[in-house]
């Protein structure tokens, strides 16, 4: 039976790098996309041309129906062994300027979406008594970020959720861990000016911002580690030290 990996938000950025790394590790990998179908399909075609196995699948993690459809699709491909909850959005601004609708939207994607994907994926994993769940949080969820309170709170929620689920699913042989990336070079950070980027680099002991591949390495480690659960693996070049 095929070993299947699902990565949400795999059309670009961190998710694309994680999904590519998982496909190269031999998982039949489901590249989930929301808006950028062509980008996900292009990555899948590239990997297929190299002999790796991957498929693109639409899933808006804001939709419970989409999530149920995604996990059912993945379970039909084989045994769903690894799930990476990567899809996420950011929202910045002073607390006074953030509307309840914005709070709801960020939490519905970053926190509720992650929880629902875990709920659906855990069903098959519990039955097989094996599985790896990797949730992408953020260093801002650990440390807090000015003018990013809603984003930071949603990412802190992912951490609390991960720790609880690790306890709940441990007896079923399932590990649940978080990665807390630092500043990674993706579209999400394109709002930073050159000066702000330089300042972030200066504050990073390793003297650079991260690449999506840095997070992919960490995800591959957690996918293989059988005795690591309930951990928050910070991958930030030392920024939060
Ligand atoms: P990105 O370049 O903005 O890409 C976001 C990804 O999430 C895209 O693939 C997008 O899919 C998907 N997505 C957005 N809304 C979605 C929805 N409703 N349903 C399903 N997929 C959705 O972001 P990134 O920098 O790679 O970030 C990936 C994750 O890492 C996020 O959870 C983010 O919070 C976290 N993170 C990033 C950084 C960083 O510095 N970049 C740092 C810490 C944590 P489509 O394009 O197909 O719509």
19 lines ligand 1 (CB under 6 A): no
pLDDT for the residue numbered 58: 98
pLDDT for the residue numbered 75: 98
Strands of the sheet containing 54-58, edge to edge, are 54-58, 28-33, 3-7, 79-85, 131-136, 174-181, 232-235
Question: How far does the centroid of ligand 1 lie from the alpha carbon of residue 134, in Å?
Answer: 15
186 lines ligand 1 (CB under 6 A): yes
Question: How far does the centroid of ligand 1 lie from the alpha carbon of residue 1, in Å?
Answer: 30
Q: Is the pTM of this model over 0.75?
A: yes
pLDDT for the residue numbered 206: 98
pLDDT for the residue numbered 217: 98
Alpha carbon nearest to ligand 1 atom 4, residue = 13
d(CA 140, CA 138): 5
Pocket test for ligand 1, best of 15, 109, 237 (most atoms within 8 A of CB): 15
14 lines ligand 1 (CB under 6 A): yes
pLDDT for the residue numbered 149: 97
Tell me how far the alpha carbon of residue 150 is from its chain's centroid: 18
pLDDT for the residue numbered 222: 99
CA–CA–CA angle 105, 84, 102 (5° rounding): 10
CA–CA–CA angle 86, 153, 85 (5° rounding): 15
27 is known as an active-site residue = no
pLDDT for the residue numbered 28: 98
Tell me how far the alpha carbon of residue 132 is from its chain's centroid: 13
Q: Which atom of ligand 1 is nearest to the CA of 87?
A: 7
> pLDDT by residue for the chain (241 residues), tens digit each?
899 999 999 999 999 999 999 999 999 999 999 999 999 999 999 999 999 999 999 999 999 999 999 999 999 999 999 999 999 999 999 999 999 999 999 999 999 999 999 999 999 999 999 999 999 999 999 999 999 999 999 999 999 999 999 999 999 999 999 999 999 999 999 999 999 999 999 999 999 999 999 999 999 999 999 999 999 999 999 999 9
pLDDT for the residue numbered 32: 98
pLDDT for the residue numbered 61: 98
187 lines ligand 1 (CB under 6 A): yes
Alpha carbon nearest to ligand 1 atom 9, residue = 9
Query: Which domains, from first to last, does the chain contain?
Result: 3-185+212-235 (3.40.50.720)
pLDDT for the residue numbered 145: 94
8 lines ligand 1 (CB under 6 A): yes
Question: How far does the centroid of ligand 1 lie from the alpha carbon of residue 83, in Å?
Answer: 15
DSSP strand pairing (3-7 vs 28-33): parallel
Q: Which atom of ligand 1 is nearest to the CA of 35?
A: 48
């Amino acid at each position: 039976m095929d070993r299947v990996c699902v990565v949400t938000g795999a059309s670009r950025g961190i998710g694309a790098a994680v999904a590519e790394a998982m496909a190269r590790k031999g998982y039949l990998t489901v590249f989930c996309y929301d808006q950028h179908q062509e980008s996900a399909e292009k990555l899948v075609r590239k990997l297929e041309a190299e002999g790796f196995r991957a498929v693109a699948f639409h899933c808006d993690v804001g939709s419970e129906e989409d999530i149920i459809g995604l996990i059912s699709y993945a379970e039909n491909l084989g045994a769903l062994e690894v799930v990476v909850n990567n899809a996420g959005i950011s929202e910045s601004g002073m607390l006074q300027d953030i509307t309840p609708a914005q709070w709801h939207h960020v939490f519905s994607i970053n926190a509720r979406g992650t929880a629902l994907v875990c709920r659906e994926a855990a069903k098959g994993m519990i039955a097989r008594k094996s599985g790896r769940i990797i949730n992408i949080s953020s260093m801002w969820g650990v440390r807090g970020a000015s003018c990013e309170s809603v984003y930071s709170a949603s990412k802190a929620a992912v951490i609390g959720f991960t720790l609880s689920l690790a306890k709940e699913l441990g007896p079923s042989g399932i590990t649940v861990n978080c990665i807390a990336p630092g500043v990674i070079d993706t579209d999400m950070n394109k709002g930073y000016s050159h000066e702000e980027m330089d300042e972030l680099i200066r504050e990073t002991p390793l003297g650079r911002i991260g690449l999506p591949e840095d997070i992919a390495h960490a995800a591959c480690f957690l996918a293989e580690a059988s005795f690591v659960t309930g951990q928050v693996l910070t991958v930030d070049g030392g920024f939060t030290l």
